[in-house]
Amino acid sequence: MKGRAWILGGLVAVVIVLGVLGVTSTQDSERANASTHPARGSATPAAKSSSEAVLAIAPGVRRTAVPSQTQSRMTPLMTEFVNAHDDKAIYERLKKLANPSAEELYVMAAILERCADVTDRKWRTSQRWHLGGDDAKKRFEASLSPKVPDRDKRIKAFEAINYDECAGFDGVKVTEKEVRAIHERAAAAGDPKSRAAVLRYQFDDQRRDAKGEVDWSKPAEISDAQIREWKDIVQSGDPRAVMDAISVIWGVGTSAHLRDPREQPIDMGSINLAGMLVACDLGRDCGPNSRYLLQGCAMDGHCDASDLRDYLFFYNAAPGSSQRVDEYRARLLDVINRGDWSFFTFTRGPMPAMAGYDRTSRGSP
């Protein structure tokens, strides 16, 4: 009897252990699912899984919930410009206009910056790298091993981006002063993209040396008026202007920086990616046939992403960065849709990442 009771007790113990293991396994699975697809608006924080969960993530998997979209702010002209294979044709058409709009002026300035030989710029664009033609395709195909994964996908993606949008601009010369004058006209007429460009010029002016060249070792100060201008540009909701405004702020990290409600400095790399995703929400093409994704597939073999969000979160950002990017994206949309700046605060002084460094020159080694 005692032996039989001992055996029965052992079986019960085994069943209990297996039950506990089963519950633990189920809980781990639920935690992984909750981490991958957190319930938005839930009062209870989603359970978190180990950092090992990142090893199970794959690009291109259908999401259970699509991020909320806001109304598209892409104009027909900007859609044409973003997708254009021939900037010269757009530029020649706009140049003939007697009274170009603010955005038309911006596009002309942007094309000149990208394609023309800016003669008074230290790094001249006349030697720019460019694609286009059968020779480029042959060189690209020769660079890929016959055994490389997704070879056919990469070649197809390369064919889609194998064009020179600046074709026909050889010999076209312009000065930075002339380009700036166009941006200033557009900014005065209200274009937020050119307003961001003018802010960049203003910060560059603070760094110019005796020869008029920008010395990047010099700090730039941002005034209260410039902070208000920057906020207006972001709040405009213009997809390109949002991205440009964020990139402009990189240049003033020694005089002021952004903080979140926890007094944590905003991570500039993460907010830059968030700005790109906000542009997608605002109507910029960020699908599988957008140039960013096609180039990532062709050049790097990153061919499985379904859209830019998928691409950035899997190929570009670490898990922690992805979480910050998603948070910043949501808060930037609060700014654009509701004028809510409660998450972002400008703080005077350098960010911690730069505060400890001394700019004093010690001469050449």
* Residue with the larger pLDDT of the pair 39 and 132: 132
Supply the pLDDT for residue 9: 44
pLDDT digits (tens, 9 = 90+) for 64-85: 655 556 778 899 999 999 998 9
Q: Is residue 308 exposed (0-12), middle (13-18) or buried (19+ Cβ within 10 Å)?
A: buried
Supply the pLDDT for residue 34: 40
Supply the pLDDT for residue 264: 92
Residue found by looking up tokens 């702020």 in the block: 249
Taking all residues of the chain, what is their mean pLDDT, rounded to a whole number?
A: 82
Supply the pLDDT for residue 28: 40
DSSP-H helix ranges across 37-165: 76-83, 87-95, 102-115, 134-143, 151-161
CB atoms within 10 A of CB 293: 24
pLDDT digits (tens, 9 = 90+) for 148-177: 989 999 999 999 999 999 998 888 899 989
CB atoms within 10 A of CB 255: 16
Supply the pLDDT for residue 238: 96
Q: Is residue 273 exposed (0-12), middle (13-18) or buried (19+ Cβ within 10 Å)?
A: buried
Q: Taking 70 as the threshold, does the pLDDT of residue 45 lie above it?
A: no
* Residue with the larger pLDDT of the pair 215 and 263: 263
Q: Taking 90 as the threshold, does the pLDDT of residue 302 lie above it?
A: yes
DSSP 61: P
| DSSP 3-state of 177 | helix
Q: In degrees rounded to 5, what are phi and psi of residue 127?
A: -105, 30
Supply the pLDDT for residue 4: 41
Supply the pLDDT for residue 196: 97
Distance CA 67, CA 277 (A): 10
Supply the pLDDT for residue 20: 36
For the record, the structure tokens of 64 come out as: 């259970």
Supply the pLDDT for residue 221: 87
Distance CA 172, CA 174 (A): 7
Please state, for a pLDDT cut of 70, what percent of the chain lies above it. Answer: 78
Distance CA 298, CA 152 (A): 10
For the record, the structure tokens of 313 come out as: 């979160």
Q: Taking 90 as the threshold, does the pLDDT of residue 296 lie above it?
A: yes
For the record, the structure tokens of 69 come out as: 């979209």
Average pLDDT on 199-221 reads: 82
Q: How far is CA 325 from the centre of its chain?
A: 9
pTM, to two decimals: 0.79
Average pLDDT on 40-52 reads: 58
Distance CA 356, CA 169 (A): 46
Q: Taking 60 as the threshold, does the pLDDT of residue 127 lie above it?
A: no
Supply the pLDDT for residue 13: 42
Select the highest-mean-pLDDT range: 121-125, 236-240, 307-311: 236-240
Supply the pLDDT for residue 40: 41
Q: How far is CA 72 from the centre of its chain?
A: 18
Structure confidence at residue 29 as a pLDDT band (50, 70, 90) = very low
Q: How many Cα atoms within 13 Å fall on the side-chain side of residue 140?
A: 26
Supply the pLDDT for residue 365: 45
